[in-house]
Amino acid sequence: MTDDLNHARDELMRASLDHCVKCTICETQCPVARVTPLFPGPKFVGPQAERFRHGESVDESLDYCSGCGICTHVCPQGVKIAELNIMAKAVMKADQPPPVMKGLRDQVISRTTVMGKAMTPVAPVANAALGIGLLRKAVEKVVGVASGAPMPTARTETLRAWLRRRPAPPAATREPIVFFHGCAGGYFEVETSKRTIEVLEHLGFQVLVPKQGCCGLAQQSNGLFENARTSVLDLCDALRSVGKELTIVSSSGSCTGMLKHEAHHILGVDDPRLLDVGARIRETSEFLLELFESGEVLPEFRRVEATIPYHQPCQVKAQGMGMPALTLMEMVPGVRVVESGQPCCGIAGTYGLKEEKYDIAQAVGKPVFEMVKATNPDLATCDTETCRWQIEKGSGVRTVHPIELLHFALGLSDDLPL
Amino acid sequence: MNGPVPRRGTAPRTVVVGAGLAGLVSAILLRRHGHQVVLVAKGLGGLQLSQGTIDVLGRLDGRLVDDPWAAFDELPDSHPYRRIGVEAVRRGVDVLAGLLGPDLLAPVGERNQLYPTAVGALRPTLVVPPSMAAGAARDGRRIVIVGIDQVKDFHPELVAGNLARTELPGGGRLQVRHASIDLGARPGEVDSSPVVYARALDQAHTREKFVRAVKAVAEPGEVIGLPAVLGVDDPLAWADLQQRIGQPVFEIALQPPSVPGMRFNQALLAHTRRERVRTMLGAEVIGLVNEGSTVTGVRVQTAGGERTIGCDHVVHAPGGFESGALAVDSHNRVSETIFGLPVTATDATELIHGDYWGAPQPLFEVGVRVDDQMRVLDDRGRAMYANLYAAGGILAGAIRWREKSGEGIALGSAVKAVDAITAGEDRP
Ligand SMILES: Cc1cc2nc3c(=O)[nH]c(=O)nc-3n(C[C@H](O)[C@H](O)[C@H](O)COP(=O)(O)OP(=O)(O)OC[C@H]3O[C@@H](n4cnc5c(N)ncnc54)[C@H](O)[C@@H]3O)c2cc1C
Ligand code: SF4
Ligand code: SF4
């Protein structure tokens, strides 16, 4: 047992269990328990089963918990149910290692940077390969990534290459800020990163983009705590390297959550570097809304007549900041946002990629897909990359980060179907 | 970025603390008055734990209350209703009826009626959902209580036995027998939570088997009492079932999760979304920022640290002991845990008696005192801040589940607080 898992064991022992008053509120909101009898629900696998674990794994149904965090989000007593489950899952994995190939899969899908780096130079080939049914089927059989699961589209140009190539940005009129793009934002969702940088620069900021690695979230949710801890602290060093007082902004909703609270609560990282970064980081919409409401900057949006479906990912909900993206998009004259009202799209990081969870993840996401299709067949919005892939796959509707709508409304682009 | 956050536009901003009945209704009403509203809640509120009825005043000094409105005058001066008044409670109930609509709430009557509980007691309340209406106790009514084997928390024999032996207040009895059906909510499921069962019955195609099973155990002329699992998202599932069964049915609320309470909660949350209440769920309020006797912001603990939300008014509706807004520490000291507000008693020693199953603990009357605008009062009876209002379970002076007054207090105080906040503003 490694030190990292010892932390998980210790925390499990003295966790917030006794705060649970058995109100069952978490049970009623868990998206996985809603769609499958295989999973008995958060109160049972969380605070209730925990009493019997004594550091040992007792119940395998725990593996069906997606780690979406909705239970923690709604618990009125502050019980960290999802965090308990993720820690207990890591312990379970260490006690009963999964079959070799599934273990390998969990390693691969949680190494987002590696996947991105490996796929970029061969993007057209990688895209074709991931799109080919037979090949995907073979992959499913061998390593257990479901053949229907959404997969990222690799881009021909990384964010760094674009930053090197593009003409110099306009002279800054405001303070410098740091941009954290996340692995997806560096390799797959490059457009989201570019447009965030352009919006921030348009508003007068000098945007610093230090060379940066992965936050370790996917490793954490696949129980690879040791790797996750190293990743997150390396990232903190990178983000701190360009300035220790600056605000950090990120369009990667779930990775922002990792830095704000998950690495601290789940991995037990108490390192002052993490706490510093966690306190300075803002999700893009959160940052812009604070900025616009302060009255310091008044954005000049053009009129956009559109009804925009919006789904806030579970991992963004968990940050307890409300829905700044919704308020922000509705500051654009003519825009009306329809919110999904759903807890989770099903993917929950890498959960919905796994063959044995695929059907559950699709069932969880179904109401989101239907709402998107019914609201606007051309365009939807969502703050996290894996969720966008899931929603696009499930609904057939192009799904972008809310920043793309703002970019359009500020007149910086014209290529959205609006 | 930790100072009070100023904001765009001129609309006043109110922060509402808590997503229970009091907080949700205050937030919706304030939006209708054109306020910017930020609702901050640590978690979901208590509606899902409630019976899904509107209690105004069911019991007083150990006796049943027939006309709750007339009984207000008999309450002691320390009771919250003495500050709130009949008119505001009536308005609050009407507001809720408007928000929930006729599918979720039967017409508001003038007198309490008695309805069966999950242990077979009879409980007074003023307004029920239409799905419970046929359960009102009447002399000679023939009832069959039908259990579902897979819903383990409902024991038809217990319910029927207790109901049958209860003499009605006006004299007479119900004629009650019991039966049960064996029908899983999902294939292979032997133990279903009420919510899982209700979701199965939301699907019209799963109802047929249920209808057949119930029909097989009911006799003509009987009113059929069922555990409250007749749909959760579809408010008319119960009516469809009743029509297909061809006899009157009624629901009996279970211990949490309460499906009728959940229907109310979902409906009110949908209103807050539609009205663009900015809801920060999963964020904990930890303090105030003030300039003299005016509150200028609310301090919130959330992922990544503290934020301050600037505001012009605060409606403080964080519930009571159950939600952690009031607490007793190991030295028996009672406190309000969020803003450190003065409470009506600080020493719990005399307020907790040792008889666990005996009379309600006087401790539960402890809370925050308010004036008739719902402004929080200090120890000397003066408003602590010009713009800090309290509503719902935090108010001192009532033991809600004994009196059956929780919803009435929450609604009336919400209406009063909103009245005070918006007084002098142009009504939209
Ligand atoms: C088990 C039980 C049974 C009851 N039975 C009855 C009955 O039969 N009849 C009756 O009339 N009444 C009954 N009551 C009382 C009634 O339910 C309550 O009085 C009423 O629901 C109060 O609602 P509320 O809005 O004030 O608070 P609640 O519904 O308790 O909601 C409180 C809200 O505040 C939030 N909150 C708390 N602290 C913070 C913080 N620091 N920061 C942010 N948010 C916070 C919570 O998360 C929650 O959203 C019962 C109560 C309980 C608990
Ligand atoms: S919501 Fe919280 S207090 Fe309620 S049952 Fe779940 S863990 Fe326990
Ligand atoms: S984390 Fe999500 S899936 Fe897991 S128990 Fe909580 S709500 Fe359910």
Q: Residue A329 and residue B220: Cα distance in Å, rounded?
A: 58
Burial class (CB in 10 A: 0-12, 13-18, 19+), B357: exposed
Q: Is the CB of A69 within 6 Å of ligand 3? A: yes
User: Measured from the CB, is residue B267 less than 6 Å from ligand 1?
Assistant: no
Q: What angle do CA A145, A151, A153 make, to 5 degrees?
A: 150
Domains of chain A: 3-95 (1.10.1060.10), 300-409 (3.40.50)
Beta carbons of B8 and A295 less than 8 Å apart: yes
pLDDT of residue A208: 97
Across the interface, which of A24, A298, A318 has its CB nearest the CB of B303?
A318
Distance (Å) from the alpha carbon of A205 to chain B's nearest alpha carbon: 16
Question: What is the distance in angstroms between the Cα of A234 and the nearest Cα belonging to chain B?
Answer: 19
* Cis before B107 (ω within 30): no
Compute the CA torsion angle A311, A316, A318, A324 (nearest 10 deg).
-80
pLDDT greater than 50 at residue A162: yes
Residue B304 backbone zone (phi > 0: left; psi -120 to 50: alpha; other: beta): left
Task: Look at residue A50 in the predicted model and tell me its pLDDT.
Answer: 60
Which strands make up the sheet holding B305-310, listed edge to edge? B284-291, B294-302, B305-310
Please report the pLDDT score of residue B2 as a whole number.
37
**What confidence score (pLDDT) does residue B353 get?**
77
What percentage of chain B carries pLDDT values higher than 90?
A: 88
Q: How confident is the model at residue A169 (pLDDT cuts 50, 70, 90)?
A: very high
Do the beta carbons of residue B51 and residue B58 sit within 8 Å? no
* Residue A13 confidence (pLDDT): 44
What is the Å distance from ligand 2's center to B44 Cα?
10
Give the integer Cα–Cα distance in Å for B108 and B110.
Answer: 7
Comparing alpha-carbon positions, the chain A residue that sits nearest to B318 is A76
Count the neighbouring beta carbons within 10 Å of the beta carbon of residue B39: 27
The rounded Å distance from CA A370 to ligand 1 centre is: 34
Using alpha carbons, select from A208, A287, A276 the residue that is nearest to residue A236: A276
- Which of the two residues, A160 and A84, has the higher pLDDT score? A160
Give the tens place of pLDDT for each residue, A329-346: 999 999 999 999 999 999
Please tell me which residue, A106 or B87, carries the higher pLDDT value.
B87
Nearest-atom index, ligand 2, CA of A74: 1
Question: Atom 6 in ligand 2: which residue has the minimum CA distance?
Answer: A26
Task: Enter the CATH code of domain B13-99+264-422.
Answer: 3.50.50.60
Domain boundaries, chain B: 13-99+264-422, 135-247
Only one residue has tokens 């120890």, namely B379
Lowest mean pLDDT among A129-138, A166-175, B243-252: A129-138
Amino acid in the structure at residue B135: G
Residues forming beta bridges with residue B370, ordered by sequence position: B376
Higher pLDDT, B206 or A236: A236
Q: Measured between alpha carbons, how far is B427 from B414 in angstroms, rounded to an integer?
A: 17
pLDDT at site A61: 83
Q: Tell me which DSSP letter residue B296 carries.
A: E
Q: Tell me the CA–centroid distance for residue A80 and ligand 3, in Å.
A: 11
B393 lines ligand 1 (CB under 6 A): yes
Round to whole Å and give the CA distance between A73 and B284. 11
Q: Which residues contact B217 (CB under 8 A, 6 or more apart)?
A: B144, B146, B179, B180, B181
**Pocket of ligand 2 contains residue A241 by CB under 6 Å:** no
Ligand 3 proximity of A62 Cβ (cutoff 6 Å): no
Ligand 3 in reach of A352 Cβ (< 6 A): no
To the question of pTM greater than 0.90 for the whole model, the response is: yes
- Tell me, using a 6 A CB cutoff, whether residue A410 lines ligand 3: no
Q: Is the pLDDT of residue A327 over 70?
A: yes
Which residue's CA is the closest to the ligand 2 atom numbered 4? A23
A82-106 pLDDT tens trace: 888 888 888 777 777 666 656 666 7
Closest protein CA for atom 3 of ligand 2 = A20
Interface of B with A (CB under 8 A): 1, 5-8, 38, 41-46, 48-49, 186-189, 193, 195-196, 199, 256-257, 262, 270, 273, 276, 278-284, 302-305, 307, 322-324
Residue A342: phi and psi, rounded to 5, are: -105, 150
ipTM value for the complex: 0.91
Confidence category of residue B77, pLDDT binned at 50, 70, 90: very high
Q: Which pLDDT does position A127 carry in this prediction?
A: 52
Inter-helix orientation angle B194-202/B237-245, to 10°: 70
Angle at A76 between CA A72 and CA A81, to 5 degrees: 25
Q: Supply the pLDDT for residue B418.
A: 98
Distance CA A80, CA A86 (A): 10
Question: Residue A270 is encoded by which pair of tokens?
Answer: 């108490």
Nearest residue (by CA) to ligand 3, atom 5, is A42
Residue B115 DSSP code: E
**Three-class SS state of B104:** coil
* H or E stretch covering B87: helix B86-100
Task: Kindly identify the ligand whose nearest atom is closest to the C-alpha of A29.
Answer: 3
Mean pLDDT of chain B: 94
Chain A positions touching B281 (Cβ under 8 A) are 73-74, 317, 320, 322
| pLDDT at residue B270 tops 90 | yes
Each residue of B360-385: pLDDT tens digit? 778 889 999 999 999 999 999 999 99
C-alpha to C-alpha distances, B354 to A263, A318, B359, nearest whole angstrom? 45, 41, 10
User: How confident is residue A109, by pLDDT bands cut at 50, 70 and 90?
Assistant: low
Q: Express each pLDDT in B213-232 by its tens digit.
A: 999 999 999 999 999 999 99
- Which ligand approaches the C-alpha of residue A80 most closely? 2
Q: Using pLDDT thresholds of 50, 70 and 90, give the confidence band for residue A310.
A: very high
Question: What pLDDT sits at residue B91?
Answer: 98
Confidence of residue A296 (pLDDT cuts 50, 70, 90): confident
Minimum-distance ligand 2 atom for the alpha carbon of A81: 7
* pLDDT range class, residue B425, cuts 50, 70, 90: confident
> What is the CA B330 to chain-centroid distance, rounded?
29
Please tell me the predicted confidence (pLDDT) of residue A295.
87
When pLDDT is averaged across residues B82-107 and rounded to a whole number, the result is: 98
Please list every residue in chain A whose beta carbon sits closer than 8 Å to the beta carbon of residue B279: 322-323
A81 C-beta closer than 6 A to ligand 2: yes
Query: How many residues are present in chain B?
Result: 428
Mean of the per-residue pLDDT values of chain A: 85
Residue B206 scores a pLDDT above 50 = yes
Bridge partner residues of B144 (DSSP): B177, B224
CA distance linking residue A137 with residue A129, whole number of Å: 11
Proportion of chain B in helix, strand, coil states, percent, rounded to 5: 30, 25, 45
Task: Tell me B133's DSSP state.
Answer: G
Q: Can you give the pLDDT at residue B4?
A: 40
Q: Given an 8 Å threshold on Cβ–Cβ distance, is A24 in contact with B193?
A: yes
Q: Which two tokens stand for residue A260?
A: 């704000």
pLDDT at position A103: 66
The winner for highest mean pLDDT among B112-116, B189-193, B356-360 is B112-116
Please state, for a pLDDT cut of 90, what percent of chain A lies above it.
59
Half-sphere exposure of residue A299, counting CA atoms within 13 Å on the CB side? 28
* pLDDT tens sequence across A202-214: 999 999 999 999 9
Of A16, A17, A26, the residue with max ligand 2 atoms within 8 A of its CB, to mutate for a pocket test, comes to A26
What is the pLDDT, as a whole number, of residue A125? Answer: 46
Residue B426: CB partners within 8 Å, gap ≥ 6? Answer: none
Say whether B304 and A260 touch across the interface (CB within 8 A).
yes
Which pLDDT tens digit goes with each residue over A19-70?
888 899 999 999 999 999 888 888 776 666 665 555 555 567 888 999 999 9
Q: What is the DSSP letter of B216?
A: H
Nearest to A279 among B196, B279, B305 (CB): B305
Residues in chain A: 418
**What is the nearest CA distance from B196 to chain A, expressed in angstroms?**
7
3-class SS string, chain A: CCHHHHHHHHHHHHCHHHHCCCCCHHHHHCHHHHHCCCCCCHHHHHHHHHHHHCCCCCCHHHHHCCCCCHHHHHCCCCCCHHHHHHHHHHHHHHHCCCCHHHHHHHHHHCCHHHHHHHHCCCHHHHHHHHHCHHHHHHHHHHHCECCCCCCCCCCCCCHHHHHHHCCCCCCCCCCEEEEECHHHHHHCCHHHHHHHHHHHHHCCCEEECCCCCCCCHHHHHCCCHHHHHHHHHHHHHHHHCCCCCCCEEECCHHHHHHHHHHHHHCCCCCCHHHHHHHHHEEEHHHHHHHHHHCCCCCCCCCCCCEEEEEECCHHHHCCCCCCHHHHHHCCCCCEEEEECCCCCCCCCCCHHHECCCHHHHHHHHHHHHHHHHHHCCCCEEECCHHHHHHHHHHHCCCEECHHHHHHHHCCCCCCCCC
Beta strands B122-125; B113-116: pairing state: antiparallel
Point out which residues pair with B249 in neighbouring strands: B224
Question: Chain A: which residues have CB within 8 Å of chain B?
Answer: 21-25, 27-29, 33-34, 37, 41, 72-78, 247, 257, 259-261, 278-279, 281, 290, 292-295, 298, 317-323, 327, 330, 339, 341
Kindly state if the Cβ of A41 falls inside 6 Å of ligand 2. Answer: no
What is the tens place of the pLDDT at every residue in A342-374?
Answer: 999 999 888 888 888 999 999 999 999 999 999
pLDDT (mean) for B67-78: 96
Euclidean distance between CA atoms A219 and A90, whole angstroms: 10
Q: What is the DSSP letter of B130?
A: G
